[in-house]
Amino acid sequence: MSKFAARTVSEFLAARPQYARDVSKLHGYIDLAVDWEASHGLVLRAPKGEGSGEAEDWHRASLVPAPVALAPSPIPRVEFEKVVHLQPVLNRLFDRISRDDEFLDRTLESLGTSDEFTWRVYQMFLRQRALGVEKPGVVGIHRSDYLIDAPGGDEKGLRAKQVEFNTIAASFASLSSIVGDLHRYLLERTGYEGVLEKGVIDRGQIPGNESLTSIGDGIAAGFGLYGNKE
């Protein structure tokens, strides 16, 4: 999701966009968004359904628009820049955690089967560690998720709070990297007229998203560490 960015919290509160809650005003925007998503690859495979024969074959080949917000989500620029600058620090922290076998064993063994997915990943890690294969390098693909918090309902104290640090999901980089382009298109095409009830949205306030190219570059760099030159 692309982020609206005001310079300070005070400026953010004064100019942040506020959208209509009347769903009927969104119908035209939904049609524009669906058409844009279909023509720009912002799509997913259709969920599995029930059926057989030709209907099942047709459904297997179907695509649906990816679920996205129709407009940028507002966030103070100071908080946005803070989490961007914090990311390299978090990357180093989690890299060191991944190399601390004693900590991982003590922490993850207590899971048992309460979290089946994490337990299976941990078992894979143990089998790989037992092989004792020396690795020339490790590539970490990380994603931090944040929500904007207003302690005690005080909007002047808005802060970005981390709710998840993900080290395994990279599949949506090809989609998240173009959601901002969708928002820019809708902004230029409609100005969000009828939906934007208060505040402003400027094209320059929607930052770029380089998740797809940065992940690709990281994988290529890791590939090179194993002696592959092409």
Question: How large is the average pLDDT for residues 103-108?
Answer: 88
| 154-173 average pLDDT score | 82
Sign for the CA dihedral angle at 108, 112, 116, 121 comes to: positive
Q: What is the pLDDT of residue 1?
A: 41
Q: How many CA atoms are closer than 13 Å to the CA of 1, on its beta-carbon side?
A: 17
Start-end of H helices in 42-172 = 53-60, 77-98, 101-108, 116-131
pTM for this structure?
0.80
Least confident interval from 25-29, 127-131, 180-184: 25-29
Tell me the sheet residues that pair with 159: 149
3-state percent helix, strand, coil for the chain, nearest multiple of 5: 55, 15, 30
Please tell me the total number of residues recorded for the chain in this structure.
230
**The pLDDT of residue 18:** 83
Tell me the C-alpha distance between 140 and 225, whole Å: 14
52-96 tens-digit pLDDT: 555 666 677 788 999 999 988 888 888 899 999 999 999 999 999
pLDDT band at 2 (very low <50, low <70, confident <90, very high): very low
